[in-house]
C-alpha cells in the first residue's frame, strides 16, 4: 500500500510516499527555518503562507522521486493535530481535497504519533509494545505504546517542552534559531560544570518534570552578568543547560524502564537529535539491558515520512477522515483525532 503523506504543522512543508508503513519511497522537506530565523522564532502567519506556496511543489516532488503518479497512491494522509493551527490547516485541507479529488481515503495523523513512527522506517523489527521518550519543540512525554494506535502517557513535562527550553536558551544566549542545534554545537566547546543550574522534581510524580525553572535560571544568569558588566562564558552556559536537560530526562526514562519492565526503548522528536542526549540514552540502554531505537537525526525533526508510516497503521485500524474532518491546535496522543469534537 502506498500512502502519500503531507506534514505542515510548524515551519517545514513536507511530503513523502511510504510503502506499507515501513519503506520510504520519497521524503521531501522544504524548511522555512531561514525565513523565521530573521525573527528569532516561527511567525505563525508567515509559516501558513509559506505552506500555501510550497505544498503543491513539494507534493509533486515527492511523487516524482517515488516514481509514481497520483493514481498509484492508495491513500492520502496529513498531520491534522497538534501544531500551529493555521499551518496544520494548510496541509490537512490540501491532503483532504487531494484525497477527495482522487476518490481515495484520507487518513488524519497525530503529529506526535508520527514522530514515534519514524522509528518503523529505520527498524523493520520494531513492533509495540515499547516505551518511548518523545522530546520535541512542543511536547516532552514518556509514552507507553501498547499497540500501533494505542498509547498511554506515563509521564511528561508540567510546563515547557524540552525543545522549547532549548530554543529560549539559544535566544537569551544570542545563539540564533533554530535553537536546539545551535546549543548542541555551542555546548561542545563549554564546561558543563562551570555554572550550576537547577533541576526540577515534581512532588509525588517521579515520572513528571519541568523545564520552566531551568529556563528562568539561564535567563537570570545571563541578565545578572549583563547588569554587572561581566563577560559570560556562553559555551559553558549552553553545556550546563544541555547537561541539566539530559539529567532531567534520562533518569526518569530509567525509572520508567524499570516500572514498565520493557526491553524496548524508543526515542523520537527533534530533541532526540541532540548529541549529548543520544550518548546518555545509549549508556542508559546498555545499563538497563534494553534495546535502543533512535532515528537518525534527519528523521528526528519534522518530516512527512513519519506521517506516512503512522498513517499505514491508522488506516489498518480504520481511522479514516470523514468529510467534515477538522484540524486541531492541540490533541492528546491518546485521542482519536477522527472522532475529536470542537
Ligand atoms: O520534533 P520537532 O522537529 O518539531 C516539533 O514537533 O516541535 O522538534 C523541534 C525542536 C526544536 O525546539 C529544536 O530546537 C529541537 O527540536 N532540536 C534540538 C536539536 N535539533 C532540533 N534540540 C536539541 N539538540 C538538537 N540537536
Ligand atoms: Zn514535530
The cell for 127 is: 513492533
Side-by-side strand order, sheet with 106-110: 23-31, 12-19, 2-7, 75-81, 106-110
pTM exceeds cut of 0.95? yes
d(CA 323, CA 82): 19
Q: Is 14 in the pocket of ligand 1 (CB under 6 A)?
A: no
* Ligand 2 centroid from CA 137, angstroms: 7
Establish whether residue 136 lines the binding site of ligand 1, counting it when its CB lies within 6 angstroms of any ligand atom: yes
The closest-lying atom of ligand 1 relative to the alpha carbon of residue 161 is: 12
Query: Under a CB-based contact definition with an 8 Å cutoff, are residues 181 and 159 in contact?
Result: no
Neighbour-count burial of 105, counting CB atoms closer than 10 A to its CB (0-12 exposed, 13-18 middle, 19+ buried): middle
Contact 87, 9 (CB under 8 A): yes
What is the separation, in whole angstroms, between the first and last Cα of the chain? 32
Ligand nearest to the CA of 84: 1
User: What crossing angle do the helices spanning 234-260 and 275-288 adopt, rounded to 10°?
Assistant: 30
For the record, the C-alpha cell of 101 comes out as: 479529488
Q: Kindly provide the residue ranges of all beta strands, DSSP E only, lying in 42-148, ordered along the sequence.
A: 75-81, 106-110, 130-135, 140-147
pLDDT at 127: 98
Distances (CA, A) of 273 to 62, 84, 257: 24, 22, 21
Q: pLDDT tens digit string along 286-321? A: 999 999 999 999 999 999 999 999 999 999 999 999
Instruction: Compute CA distances 332 → 23, 27, 139, 289, 328, whole Å.
Output: 27, 26, 10, 30, 10
Task: Give the pLDDT score at 318.
Answer: 97
Asked whether 91 lines ligand 1 (CB < 6 A), one says: no
Nearest atom in ligand 1 to 112's CA: 6
Tell me what pLDDT residue 339 has.
Answer: 87
Give the pairing type, strands 130-135 and 264-268.
parallel
Q: What is d(CA 315, CA 338) in angstroms, rounded to the nearest whole number?
A: 11
- Of 111, 184, 301, 310, best ligand 1 pocket probe by most atoms within 8 Å of the beta carbon: 301
How many Cβ atoms from other residues are within 10 Å of residue 119's Cβ? Answer: 23
Q: Which residues of the chain have pLDDT under 70?
A: 342
For residue 276, which phi and psi values (nearest 5 degrees)? -70, -40
Whole-angstrom distance, CA of residue 93 vs CA of residue 331: 18
Q: Bridge partners of 292? A: 265
Ligand 1 pocket, residue 7 CB under 6 Å = no
pLDDT, one tens digit per residue, over 80-110 is 999 999 999 999 999 999 999 999 999 999 9
Amino acid at each position: 500500500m502506498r500512502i502519500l503523506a503531507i506534514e505542515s504543522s510548524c515551519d517545514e512543508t513536507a511530503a513523502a510516499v511510504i510503502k506499507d508503513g515501513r519503506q520510504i519511497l520519497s521524503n521531501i522537506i522544504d524548511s522555512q527555518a531561514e525565513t523565521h530565523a530573521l525573527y528569532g522564532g516561527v511567525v505563525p502567519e508567515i509559516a501558513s503562507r509559506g505552506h500555501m506556496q510550497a505544498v503543491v511543489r513539494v507534493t509533486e516532488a515527492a511523487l516524482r522521486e517515488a516514481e509514481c503518479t497520483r493514481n498509484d497512491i492508495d491513500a492520502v494522509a496529513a498531520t491534522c493535530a497538534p501544531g500551529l493551527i493555521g499551518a496544520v490547516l494548510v496541509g490537512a485541507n490540501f491532503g483532504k481535497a487531494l484525497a477527495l479529488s482522487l476518490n481515495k481515503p484520507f487518513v488524519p495523523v497525530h503529529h506526535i504519533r508520527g514522530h514515534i513512527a519514524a522509528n518503523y522506517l529505520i527498524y523493520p523489527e520494531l513492533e509495540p509494545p515499547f516505551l518511548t521518550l518523545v522530546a520535541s519543540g512542543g511536547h516532552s512525554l514518556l509514552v507507553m505504546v501498547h499497540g500501533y494506535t494505542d498509547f498511554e502517557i506515563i509521564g511528561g513535562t508540567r510546563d515547557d517542552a524540552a525543545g522549547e527550553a532549548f530554543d529560549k536558551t539559544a535566544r537569551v544566549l544570542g545563539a540564533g534559531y533554530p535553537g536546539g542545534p545551535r546549543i548542541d554545537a555551542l555546548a561542545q566547546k563549554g564546561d558543563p560544570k562551570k555554572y550550576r543550574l537547577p533541576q526540577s522534581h515534581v512532588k509525588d510524580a517521579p515520572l513528571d518534570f519541568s523545564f520552566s525553572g531551568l529556563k528562568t535560571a539561564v535567563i537570570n544568569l545571563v541578565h545578572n552578568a549583563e547588569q554587572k558588566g561581566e563577560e559570560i562564558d556562553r559555551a559553558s552556559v549552553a553545556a550546563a543547560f544541555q547537561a541539566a536537560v539530559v539529567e532531567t530526562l534520562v533518569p526518569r526514562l530509567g525509572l520508567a524502564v524499570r516500572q514498565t519492565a520493557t526491553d524496548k526503548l524508543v526515542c523520537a522528536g527533534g530533541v532526540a537529535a541532540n548529541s549529548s542526549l543520544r550518548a546518555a540514552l545509549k549508556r542508559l540502554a546498555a545499563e538497563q539491558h534494553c534495546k535502543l531505537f533512535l532515528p537518525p537525526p534527519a528523521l528526528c525533526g519534522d518530516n512527512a515520512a513519519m506521517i506516512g508510516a503512522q498513517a499505514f497503521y491508522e488506516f489498518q485500524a480504520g481511522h479514516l477522515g470523514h468529510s467534515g474532518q477538522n484540524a486541531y491546535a492541540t490533541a492528546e496522543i491518546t485521542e482519536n483525532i477522527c472522532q475529536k469534537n470542537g
